[in-house]
């Protein structure tokens, strides 16, 4: 068997936990009914299983099960939230606020809305990746209908101050949406305490299956209206039509349940691995930590390295480790990471960056091997003067 690289790209996706897979399998063959078929046992048993997963997701964020709308993933959830609010509230206002370091699944829907006449304010971030709340306060206008701020950044792992943002939005009667694709199951989330009105998540970032996500939609205090973006049979309270993908939903619930049970101990473990990796890599000269040093996901380490070509660096690492230089969703593009340039990096430094996504199944021995190979590769490239 050929040697496979050490997987450290857990922000792109995670392997499905064996316990999650075991929970899913019966719903492909034995319990295969349509949850909307309410006249027989096949539908009843899948409806009950879907209900349980909905309850798990709701409890994870302190919501009610009726406020969970299943989607195909976080991208669809973000589109439903942003376009759905824009269409439902356009008579109230056509101004939306978001942040320069958002995932493209937020930025692109906003750009699309600009073509329809909406005005989008894109806030900059500070050098540590956090937004300036004073700038947010100044950005509000009488016609602002939505603020969208990511919970945990998919590249640099920075955790934004959701509760403070939520309080500012609630005070002004503005809907607050947060993309929590990287945050669900990893950090405490409470839509009541944080005053969040819409929240997107996905299963495959938390050791669940790909192809399933959800959108939390607040039902009271205030009740949020959304215009459906996909029409059909009126599923999910009319917000997202389509037969529910029962096995994926079961896997989603199980993955979040496991993550919540292990959250504290897992975060402690991942933080130790991250510090172990950083302590070794920081011996290199000209290395920069991207994002706030502590207000970040436990398993995230994003660095930029002076004096090396980014493409040559990735090529030199790929036999030993699977890492990325930015978001997996935009890795096919030749442009530097918009997240890193928003931090003030030059194009050269943004290109010569590595995102280490440390996960549940990584070990200290793997971290040491990755650190040693990264250091030797950088030193070799500098010696060869393979510069940008």
Q: Are residues 365 and 283 in the same domain?
A: yes
Query: Taking the CB of residue 365, how many other CB atoms lie within 10 A of it?
Result: 9
Strands 353-357 and 300-305: antiparallel
Q: What is the pLDDT of residues 110-155, one digit of tens each?
A: 999 999 999 999 999 999 999 999 999 999 999 999 999 999 999 9
Q: What is the pLDDT of residue 366?
A: 98
User: Strand pairing partners for 261?
Assistant: none
**Contact in structure between 54 and 65 (CB atoms under 8 Å):** yes
Q: What are phi and psi of 215, to 5 degrees?
A: -125, 125
Which of these, 84, 82, 112, lies nearest to 97 by C-alpha position? 82
Q: Are residues 195 and 335 in the same domain?
A: no
Residue for token digits 């990096």? 345
- What is the rounded average pLDDT of the residues 359-385? 95
Q: What is the pLDDT of residue 235?
A: 81
Q: What is the percentage of the chain residues whose pLDDT exceeds 90?
A: 87
- Could you tell me the residue range of the domain that residue 280 belongs to? 6-14+263-384
Label residue 261 exposed, middle or buried (CB < 10 Å: 0-12, 13-18, 19+). Answer: exposed
Q: What is the pLDDT of residues 25-64, one digit of tens each?
A: 999 999 999 898 889 999 999 999 999 999 999 999 999 9
Q: Are residues 93 and 190 in the same domain?
A: yes
Query: Taking the CB of residue 131, how many other CB atoms lie within 10 A of it?
Result: 22
Q: Are residues 90 and 145 in the same domain?
A: yes
**Gap between the Cα atoms of 310 and 324, Å rounded:** 10
Q: What is the pLDDT of residue 387?
A: 47
Q: What is the pLDDT of residue 326?
A: 63
The CATH number assigned to the domain holding 338 equals 3.90.1150.10
Residues 6+ apart with CB under 8 A from 15: 7, 207, 359, 361
**Contact in structure between 229 and 79 (CB atoms under 8 Å):** yes
Whether 326 is in a domain gets the answer yes
H or E element: which one contains 101? none
Q: Are residues 87 and 215 in the same domain?
A: yes
Instruction: State how many domains the chain has.
Output: 2
Largest CA distance in the chain: 72
Q: Are residues 141 and 241 in the same domain?
A: yes
Whether 244 is in a domain gets the answer yes
**Contact in structure between 189 and 183 (CB atoms under 8 Å):** yes
Whether 342 is in a domain gets the answer yes
Confidence of residue 388 (pLDDT cuts 50, 70, 90): very low
The CATH number assigned to the domain holding 55 equals 3.40.640.10
Q: What is the pLDDT of residues 145-161, one digit of tens each?
A: 999 999 999 999 999 99
Whether 89 is in a domain gets the answer yes
Label residue 318 exposed, middle or buried (CB < 10 Å: 0-12, 13-18, 19+). Answer: exposed
Q: What is the pLDDT of residue 3?
A: 82
Sign of CA dihedral 263, 268, 271, 273: negative
Catalytic positions are 329
- What is the rounded average pLDDT of the residues 286-312? 95
Instruction: Look up residue 297 and give its two tokens.
Output: 């996901």
Q: Are residues 37 and 177 in the same domain?
A: yes
Whether 233 is in a domain gets the answer yes
**Gap between the Cα atoms of 388 and 385, Å rounded:** 9
Confidence of residue 1 (pLDDT cuts 50, 70, 90): very low
Whether 173 is in a domain gets the answer yes
Q: What is the pLDDT of residue 125?
A: 98
Q: What is the DSSP letter of 230?
A: S
Confidence of residue 329 (pLDDT cuts 50, 70, 90): low
| End position of a domain, from candidates 256, 277, 312 | 256
Q: Are residues 217 and 286 in the same domain?
A: no
Q: Are residues 41 and 186 in the same domain?
A: yes
Q: What is the pLDDT of residues 192-249, one digit of tens each?
A: 999 999 999 999 999 999 999 999 999 999 999 999 888 887 787 768 878 899 999 9
SS3 27: helix
- What is the rounded average pLDDT of the residues 59-81? 97
**Gap between the Cα atoms of 384 and 93, Å rounded:** 57
Q: How far is CA 246 from the centre of its chain?
A: 22
Which of these, 72, 114, 23, lies nearest to 245 by C-alpha position? 72
Q: Are residues 184 and 78 in the same domain?
A: yes
Q: What is the pLDDT of residue 236?
A: 73
Q: Are residues 235 and 282 in the same domain?
A: no
| End position of a domain, from candidates 256, 288, 323 | 256
Q: What is the pLDDT of residues 333-354, one digit of tens each?
A: 567 899 999 999 999 899 999 9
**Gap between the Cα atoms of 373 and 217, Å rounded:** 46
H or E element: which one contains 16? none
Residues 6+ apart with CB under 8 A from 162: 149, 151, 178, 194, 196
Whether 1 is in a domain gets the answer no
Q: What is the pLDDT of residues 242-293, one digit of tens each?
A: 889 999 999 999 999 999 999 999 999 999 999 999 999 999 999 999 999 9
Whether 101 is in a domain gets the answer yes
Q: Are residues 167 and 126 in the same domain?
A: yes
Helix, strand, coil in percent for the chain, rounding step 5: 40, 15, 45
| End position of a domain, from candidates 204, 221, 256 | 256
């Amino acid at each position: 068997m050929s040697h496979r690289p050490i997987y450290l790209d857990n922000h792109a996706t995670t392997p499905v936990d064996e316990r999650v897979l075991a929970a899913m399998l019966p719903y492909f063959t034995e319990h295969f009914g349509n949850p909307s078929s309410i006249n027989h046992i096949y539908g009843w048993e899948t409806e009950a299983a879907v209900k349980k997963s909905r309850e798990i997701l709701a409890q994870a964020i302190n919501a009610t099960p009726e406020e969970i709308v299943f989607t195909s993933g976080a991208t669809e959830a973000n589109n439903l939230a942003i376009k759905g609010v824009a269409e439902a509230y356009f008579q109230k206002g056509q101004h939306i606020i978001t942040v320069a370091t958002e995932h493209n699944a937020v930025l692109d829907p906003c750009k699309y809305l600009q073509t329809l006449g909406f005005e989008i304010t894109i806030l900059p971030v500070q050098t540590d990746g956090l937004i300036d709340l004073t700038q947010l306060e100044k950005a509000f206008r009488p016609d602002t209908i939505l603020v969208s701020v990511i919970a945990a950044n998919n590249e640099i792992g920075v955790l934004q101050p959701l509760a403070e943002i939520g309080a500012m939005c609630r005070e002004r009667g503005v809907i607050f949406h947060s993309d929590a694709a990287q945050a669900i199951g990893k950090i405490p989330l409470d839509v009541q305490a944080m005053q969040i009105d819409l929240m997107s998540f996905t299963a495959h970032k938390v050791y669940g299956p790909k192809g399933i996500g959800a959108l939390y939609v607040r039902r009271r205090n205030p009740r949020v209206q959304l215009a459906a973006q996909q029409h059909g049979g009126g599923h999910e309270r009319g917000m997202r039509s389509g037969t529910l993908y029962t096995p994926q939903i079961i896997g989603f619930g199980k993955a979040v349940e496991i993550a919540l049970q292990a959250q504290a101990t897992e975060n402690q473990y991942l933080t130790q691995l991250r510090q172990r990796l950083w302590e070794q890599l920081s011996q290199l000269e000209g290395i920069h930590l991207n994002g706030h040093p502590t207000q970040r996901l436990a398993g995230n380490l994003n660095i930029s390295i002076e004096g090396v070509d980014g493409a040559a660096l990735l090529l030199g690492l790929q036999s030993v480790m699977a890492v990325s230089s930015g978001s997996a969703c935009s890795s096919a593009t030749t442009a530097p990471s918009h997240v890193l340039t928003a931090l003030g990096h030059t194009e050269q430094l943004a290109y010569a960056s590595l995102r280490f996504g440390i996960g549940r199944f990584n070990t200290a021995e793997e971290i040491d091997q990755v650190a040693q190979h990264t250091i030797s590769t950088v030193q070799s490239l500098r010696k060869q003067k393979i510069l940008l």
